[in-house]
Amino acid sequence: MTDLKRRSVLAGAAAGAVALGATAAAKAAQLGPTFGNPDNPPQGAINSSAIANAEPGPQFAQLRDVMPAFANPPPTDVGGMAIPWASFNLAHKRIQNGGWAREVTTKAFPISKDIAGVNMRLGPGGVRELHWHQQAEWAIMVSGEVRITTIDALGRAEVSDVRAGDLWYFPPGLPHSLQGLGENGGEFVLAFDNGSSGEFNTLMVSDWLAHTPPEILAQNFGVPAEKFKDIPLEQLWIYQGARPGPLKPDQVYAASSNGRPDHPFIFRMSSMAPTLRQPGGEVRIVDSSNFPVSKTVAAAMVTLRPGGLREMHWHPDADEWQYFIKGSGTMTVFNTGPAAQTVNFNPGDVGYVEKNLGHYIKNTGTTDLVFLELFKSDHFSEVTLSQWLANTPRQLVREHLRVDDATLDVIHKLKDRRDVIA
């Protein structure tokens, strides 16, 4: 497994210099199955005439062009596999006074069995009502500000304000609420550690009170039943509330005589130093080693410079759920069969790679590509192809790759070299 303090998880754009050029690829196609064109019968548009590869039938160009890798896949793609792509841009919004939410779960994204995603916005004073989940909730702020409230199992409260780049984590069963702050409120992405979970089927205090006999409410809270005559009879879910005041008074009011929770429920990833920084990009790793409360979700925030590559690798311990924040990129996933499928990503898209499947991600745009990798795990781990080969006896590598000594020397140096991002 990769030790990020001595190995890279990113490869530089310079590595692309050895890629097969268009002329060479065309020649390879004429020669039959070979490098860059391995399958028989040959696949890809390079092996077809323009007229045979035309699309004269009905089509919606704007939708087609979202995924050019589907319409014109590289000749190295082969076989069929579950599509590792979805998008919040195509998810239906639930809009209420105070904010909105949209989700990507196994209903629309069957491959994503371990993690479900929710994109939510709360306007200034907008409230996601008091609720809890049967699953853990991990979240990242993508813009604006939000105030979070929760308690742990000992009744110890956390009331905190979070901003773009900050994280929070609520273990299963811990009640919480969210409220938009400032002049613009806040937007965030939630991840649940179960792919079929969603934000539309949570356990909410309004629902519970409405479905509890009034005499039970009276006995539970020690006040006359008529005091609850105006409770909402339908769930609030998201509603427009009064704008919250300063943080400190809320913290004082909610504070428990038992003190504060053992571990914070928030993490300021926006202010942490990169776990690894190289010319081609950087990565920040957040898991239970530096965010102890996050027992079931580990995360990596990856930034790739234009042309940069998240090197060929796989994850032995958990599936990978991806959320793309900025820029554009492409990914190919490799499976047994063989099967290989290439997909494109833009802001708001979601990717998913099942445990142990090989893949890479390349920045294909002119600006930084920024994306999240999430895992249903308490730790981040991976195996990289380059490190595996660099730590394998030379003769075995020679026999498998059929490369010259100079290439073997370069590969061998990767076992100790960190600066492999250009």
CB 140 within 8 A of CB 242: no
Which one, of 403, 330, 396, lies nearest residue 72 by Cα? 330
Please confirm, yes or no, whether 158 is among the known catalytic residues: no
Crossing angle for the helix pair 405-413 and 394-401, to the nearest 10 degrees:
120
CB 268 within 8 A of CB 166: yes
d(CA 323, CA 338): 26
CB 351 within 8 A of CB 315: no
Catalytic residue among 145, 311, 354, 373: 373
- Measured at the CA of 89, the angle between CA 318 and CA 349, to 5 degrees, comes to 30
- Measured at the CA of 150, the angle between CA 97 and CA 141, to 5 degrees, comes to 60
Helix (H), strand (E), coil (C) string for 190-234: EEECCCCCCCCCCEEHHHHHHCCCHHHHHHHHCCCHHHHCCCCCC
Find tokens 């890809």 and name the residue. Answer: 44
d(CA 13, CA 70): 24
| Residues noted as catalytic | 373
